């Protein structure tokens, strides 16, 4: 009887984990599968911290439970990557910022490798994830857009101020000439 209750509790725990993974997948804009074999505890803690700072989450989840969670989701293509120990990266805000952080960490730690990802329903191999990390982030794009919008106004202000500045320079030149 105790074994039956233990297995029922284990099943309930597994069902909870599957539901939690499904919830993460629904909230995520990008999901990346990584292989983390060889990373020590300090490196894993640093990786998790850097992913969290990029509005993401790093989780190690059993492949059998992930397979159940992936069924019927836009991330189903990732099922083919489920061999060996896998770490899952979920991007909840800006996928570019998160991919930059992950690529930087992977470059510094050769034990972490990217197996693949799904972004907006499209499967991405490691090269495409790296290409995504090289794109400008949302804040960078916003700054460029703001500069583009402000450029005509800035030029107009300079154009309006120029005649007055010319008169001021001319008067300054005349003043220096009389002083000599």
**pLDDT tens sequence for the chain (180 residues):** 445 555 788 788 888 988 999 999 999 999 999 999 989 999 999 999 999 999 999 999 999 999 999 988 899 999 999 998 999 999 998 899 999 999 999 999 889 999 999 998 899 999 999 998 888 777 776 777 777 777 777 777 777 888 877 878 888 888 888 777
DSSP letter at 30 equals: E
CB 93 within 8 A of CB 25: no
Over the range 71-82, which residues count as b (16 or more CB within 10 Å of their CB) and which as e?
Answer: eebbbbbbeebb
Name 25's Cβ contacts closer than 8 Å, sequence gap at least 6.
Answer: 31, 69, 70, 73, 74, 75, 90
Measured between alpha carbons, how far is 33 from 90 in angstroms, rounded to an integer?
Answer: 9
Query: What's the confidence (pLDDT) of residue 170?
Result: 80
Measured between alpha carbons, how far is 14 from 56 in angstroms, rounded to an integer?
Answer: 23
Query: What's the confidence (pLDDT) of residue 6?
Result: 59
Query: What's the confidence (pLDDT) of residue 59?
Result: 93
Could you give the 3-state DSSP secondary structure of residue 91?
strand
Closest CA to 58 of 72, 50, 48: 48
Query: What's the confidence (pLDDT) of residue 160?
Result: 83
Query: What's the confidence (pLDDT) of residue 134?
Result: 86
């Amino acid at each position: 009887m105790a074994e039956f209750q233990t297995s029922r509790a284990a099943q309930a725990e597994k069902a909870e984990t599957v539901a939690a993974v499904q919830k993460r997948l629904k909230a995520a804009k990008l999901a990346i599968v990584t292989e983390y074999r060889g990373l020590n505890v300090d490196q894993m803690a640093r990786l998790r911290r850097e992913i969290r700072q990029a509005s993401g989450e790093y989780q190690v989840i059993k492949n059998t439970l992930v397979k159940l969670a992936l069924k019927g989701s836009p991330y189903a293509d990732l099922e083919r990557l489920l061999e060996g120990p896998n770490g899952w990266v979920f991007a909840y805000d800006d996928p570019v910022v998160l991919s930059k952080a992950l690529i930087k960490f992977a470059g510094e730690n050769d034990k972490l490798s990217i197996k693949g990802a799904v972004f907006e329903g499209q499967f991405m191999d490691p090269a495409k994830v790296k290409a995504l990390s090289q794109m400008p982030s949302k804040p960078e794009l916003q700054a460029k857009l703001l500069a583009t919008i402000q450029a005509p106004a800035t030029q107009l202000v300079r154009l309006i101020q120029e005649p007055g500045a010319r008169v001021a320079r001319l008067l300054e030149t005349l003043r220096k000439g009389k002083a000599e």
